[in-house]
């Protein structure tokens, strides 16, 4: 029985990987540290939540769209679209990334709220969820064998769909992306010219 996930729903392709505490510390910014402190008072431990996400979430194709700046398109078959994620440049060298590099996203979903403004559901959407929370597996887990094995099982049509959707998204909206760090990736994307939505949510300037 899970502590944070909805046991009434099951991912079609869970990858069963664990959160790397070292990766978590490296990727975690002040937003996560502040949020972790706040939610711990309600019995929610952020590292446990993220570990459960990676263990039980639905794994799908993700593709590097650009390395200057670093942008990764994370695909969801539930909404038939991609979320564009921004990451710091140093990950390009760490993971030897280039446009077209294949990664793995682990997605969980929300059943509440309106549709996220940065998502454009495609014709195959199931209409079950308004938004999703993508985590790039390679950036948060050391379970390389499981990650690579799952990527080999993803068919070429999904990889190509993610790549084409990501390229079109970046062409049309080059400045719009979600912060790919833990938790911030669950908040809809924003233009670099705008104040991030999560800052507004916290009442910050």
Which helix H or strand E contains 109, and what residues bound it? strand 102-110
Mean per-residue pLDDT, 50-71: 97
- Coil/strand/helix, residue 171: helix
- pTM tops 0.75, yes or no: yes
Q: pLDDT band at 8, cuts 50/70/90?
A: low
pLDDT single digits (tens) 97-119: 999 999 999 999 988 778 899 99
Task: Give yes or no for a contact between 27 and 86, defined as CB atoms under 8 angstroms apart.
Answer: no
Domain ranges of the chain: 21-201
Task: Give yes or no for a contact between 133 and 109, defined as CB atoms under 8 angstroms apart.
Answer: yes
Query: Alpha-carbon distance 67 to 100, whole Å?
Result: 10
CB proximity list for 178: less than 8 A, separation 6 or greater? 83, 84, 85, 86, 118, 134, 184, 185, 187, 188, 189, 190
CATH architecture of 21-201: Beta Barrel (2.40)
The answer to whether the bond into 126 is cis (omega within 30° of 0) is: no
pLDDT single digits (tens) 120-155: 999 999 999 999 999 999 999 999 999 999 999 999
Residue of 135 and 48 predicted with greater confidence? 135
Query: Alpha-carbon distance 165 to 81, whole Å?
Result: 7
Mean per-residue pLDDT, 63-87: 98
């Amino acid at each position: 029985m899970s502590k944070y996930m909805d046991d009434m729903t099951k991912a079609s392709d869970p990858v069963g990987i664990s959160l790397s505490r070292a990766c978590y510390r490296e990727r975690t910014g002040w937003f996560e540290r502040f949020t972790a402190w706040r939610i711990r008072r309600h019995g929610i431990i952020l590292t446990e939540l993220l570990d459960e996400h990676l263990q039980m979430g639905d794994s799908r194709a993700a593709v590097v769209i650009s390395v200057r700046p670093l942008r990764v398109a994370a695909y969801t078959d539930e909404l038939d679209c991609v979320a564009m994620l921004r990451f710091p440049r140093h990950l390009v060298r760490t993971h030897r990334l280039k446009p077209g590099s294949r990664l793995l996203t682990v997605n969980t979903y929300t059943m509440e709220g309106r549709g996220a403004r940065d998502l454009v559901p495609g014709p195959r959407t199931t209409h079950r969820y308004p938004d999703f929370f993508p985590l790039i597996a390679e950036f948060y887990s050391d379970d390389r064998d499981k990650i690579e094995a799952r990527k080999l099982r993803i068919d070429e049509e999904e990889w190509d769909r993610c790549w084409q959707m990501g390229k079109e998204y970046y062409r049309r909206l080059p400045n719009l992306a979600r912060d790919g760090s833990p938790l911030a990736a669950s908040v809809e994307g924003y233009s670099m010219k705008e104040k991030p939505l999560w800052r507004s949510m916290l009442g910050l300037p």
